[in-house]
Amino acid sequence: MQKTFKVTSDTGIHARPATALVNTSNKFKTDVFAESKGKKVTMKSILGVLSLGLEENDVITFSAEGEDAAEAIAALEEIMTKEGLGELHG
Residues 6+ apart with CB under 8 A from 53: 12, 37
Please report the pLDDT score of residue 90 as a whole number.
80
Please report the pLDDT score of residue 30 as a whole number.
97
Residue 89 annotated to the active site:
no
Please report the pLDDT score of residue 3 as a whole number.
98
10, 12, 13, 14: which one is catalytic?
14
Please report the pLDDT score of residue 44 as a whole number.
97
Each residue's pLDDT, cut to its tens digit, for the chain (90 residues) gives 999 999 999 999 999 999 999 999 999 999 999 999 999 999 999 999 999 999 999 999 999 999 999 999 999 999 999 999 999 998
DSSP string over 15-38:
HHHHHHHHHHHTTSSSEEEEEETT
Q: What's the CA gap between 28 and 67, in Å, rounded? A: 9
